[in-house]
């Protein structure tokens, strides 16, 4: 849990932790004790990066226009290099995006546990 914090050079933590990674949860700089919700957050960022093929901007709310349905909006975010591979798995892709967004909630208590994340992923693979 929170390995990135352990691996941060001591001089960067001298004046208190400062987030230097997109993978840190919002509470990283104010909490003294790592917890499993940090890892869930980091997993969500990585999942969204894998789906979109780019660094995912979790620090801002992504807003879709009211004309676009959720499924179409998520499918437009998919990285072009995997779009063909997931073309017939659209419902799963939407579920992956929803899981990723749930994991990067700014409120730790709203994030699923890693056990819940694994359960969702296992159900998708059946």
For 17-76, the pLDDT digits (tens) are 444 567 777 777 676 677 888 899 999 999 999 999 988 776 555 555 666 788 888 888
What pLDDT is recorded for position 125?
Answer: 82
Alpha carbon 92 to its chain centroid, in Å, reads 16
Neighbours of 47 (CB within 10 A): 20
The structural domains of the chain, with segments of one domain joined by +, span 3-125
Q: Which fold has domain 3-125?
A: Transferase(Phosphotransferase); domain 1 (1.10.510)
Q: What is the pTM of this model?
A: 0.74
**Residue 9 clears pLDDT 80, i.e. is over it:** no
What pLDDT is recorded for position 56?
Answer: 73
């Amino acid at each position: 849990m929170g390995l990135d914090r352990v691996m941060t050079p001591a001089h960067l933590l001298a004046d208190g932790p400062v987030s230097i990674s997109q993978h840190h949860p919002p509470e990283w700089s104010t909490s003294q004790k790592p917890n499993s919700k940090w890892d869930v957050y980091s997993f969500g960022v990585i999942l969204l990066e894998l789906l979109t093929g780019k660094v995912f901007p979790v620090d801002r709310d992504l807003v879709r226009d009211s004309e676009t349905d959720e499924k179409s909006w998520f499918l437009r975010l998919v990285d072009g290099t995997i779009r063909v591979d997931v073309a017939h798995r659209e419902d799963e892709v939407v579920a992956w995006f929803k899981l990723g967004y749930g994991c990067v909630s700014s409120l730790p208590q709203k994030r699923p546990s890693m056990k819940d994340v694994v359960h969702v992923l296992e159900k998708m693979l059946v």
